Amino acid sequence: MKSSVIVFPGSNCDRDIAVALEKLQFKNKMVWHKDSELPKSDLIVIPGGFSYGDYLRSGAIAAKSKILNEVIKAANKGCLILGVCNGFQILIETGLIKGALLRNKNLKFINKDVYLKVNNTNQFCKNYKNGQIIKLNIAHNEGNYFTDKNHLMEIKENNLIAFQYCDEKGLVNDETNPNGSLNNIAGILNSKKNILGMMPHPERMIDKIISNEDGLNIFSSILN
């Protein structure tokens, strides 16, 4: 399977994503944001970081870069797109995923490992058990997902929430919500379910020696 990782000035998780993809035998290419051609890809990843120093709104400037036009075209043709952290913010700013990511409710940059409840009814999560509790790292200042009432209804009806913040027992409520995100949303799909945006970093949890392997199944799910 072929993958591309888009790199912006300020991306800092691009190589970690590449390591994760290569561990699972993806044939991966790094693509600079000024490129106007995208290599043939089954999966495009927009990595985390601080593209353009988060100027204007996180992801707003990167969303207008040349290569993003190609990413949008590929997305509309059904290519799988994964946006992690700043990548999620960029997807939001392109409109590929509806909604907005506001500043964390407590106004603090949060860097910690959190528990997530998985909904496995999509291509990105199918190697997890439904309702499985996993532990991934979050590191962001603007991860507080917000959307309007109509979209929230669509999200619930079509089962578009991929990950929700919870505790180790799977309890989803205000106390287990680190950033104030609507319905504890940590990861969400577009209506066609070929695009996943998520604040937690699966690429940081792919090796038992340095953390755990809870993030690995996202990449392996995409493979099959």
Partner 1 sequence: MKFAITVTLKKDVLDPQGKVVQQTLQNMGMDTLVNVRQGKYFEIELNETKEDVAKNLIEEMCKKLLVNLIIENYTINKIS
Catalytic residues: 85, 201, 203
Rule CB under 8 A: say whether 99 interacts with partner 1: yes
Q: Are 152 and 182 in contact (CB under 8 A)?
A: yes
* The three-state (H, E, C) secondary structure of 117-148, written as one string: EECCCCCCCCCCCCCCEEEEEEEECCCEEECC
CB of 163 to partner 1, least distance (A): 21
- Gyration radius of the chain's alpha carbons: 16
Q: Which residues contact 96 (CB under 8 A, 6 or more apart)?
A: 72, 75, 81, 190, 195
The site map against partner 1 for 154-193 (x = CB under 8 A) is --------------------------x-------------
Q: Are 135 and 115 in contact (CB under 8 A)?
A: yes
Member of 14, 16, 54, 93 binding partner 1 (CB under 8 A)? 93
Comparison of 11 and 147: residue with beta carbon closer to partner 1: 147
Comparison of 55 and 213: residue with beta carbon closer to partner 1: 55
By CB under 8 A, the residues from 13 to 72 that bind partner 1 are: 56-57, 60, 64
Member of 66, 148, 153, 213 binding partner 1 (CB under 8 A)? 148
Measured distance CA(49)–CA(140) in Å, rounded: 9
Chain residues binding partner 1 by CB under 8 A are 56-57, 60, 64, 93, 98-100, 102-107, 144, 146-148, 180
